[in-house]
Amino acid sequence: KAGVTQTPRYLIKTRGQQVTLSCSPISGHRSVSWYQQTPGQGLQFLFEYFSETQRNKGNFPGRFSGRQFSNSRSEMNVSTLELGDSALYLCASSLRQVATGELFFGEGSRLTVL
């Protein structure tokens, strides 16, 4: 059974650019959630999509957005990048919503903003 796949694994952008990250969940999983991890703030919840609908959203500015497609694959987008957006971005898939579903994480996308 294939795991959660995130692409790209590494990327470098400059301030003001935008970035799109992709997450392919485990087959059959309807929940995809996104997280930001930085040395200073630790792991923080970005948002969760379940059956193509955003169910939950963390405390992040509107520059952070996402969507989920009918095949459950999800993308997140960060517009107008800032230096502080440099982080490891992780996604996780689950059969149920994050509060009660076992999470399966991808390897993450490491974003560096210069």
Partner 1 sequence: KNEVEQSPQNLTAQEGEFITINCSYSVGISALHWLQQHPGGGIVSLFMLSSGKKKHGRLIATINIQEKHSSLHITASHPRDSAVYICAVPDYGGSQGNLIFGKGTKLSVKP
Q: Which residues contribute to the site for partner 1 (CB under 8 A)?
A: 33, 37, 42-45, 48, 55-58, 88, 90, 92, 97-105, 107-108, 110
User: Would you say 72 or 109 has its CB closer to partner 1?
Assistant: 109
Contact 18, 79 (CB under 8 A): yes
Shortest Cβ 87–partner 1 spacing (Å): 11
User: Would you say 75 or 107 has its CB closer to partner 1?
Assistant: 107
Shortest Cβ 43–partner 1 spacing (Å): 4
Pairing of the two strands 64-68 and 10-13: unpaired
Shortest Cβ 77–partner 1 spacing (Å): 19
User: Would you say 46 or 81 has its CB closer to partner 1?
Assistant: 46
Q: Return the SS3 of 10.
A: strand
Torsion of Cα atoms, 76 then 80 then 81 then 85, to 10°: -60
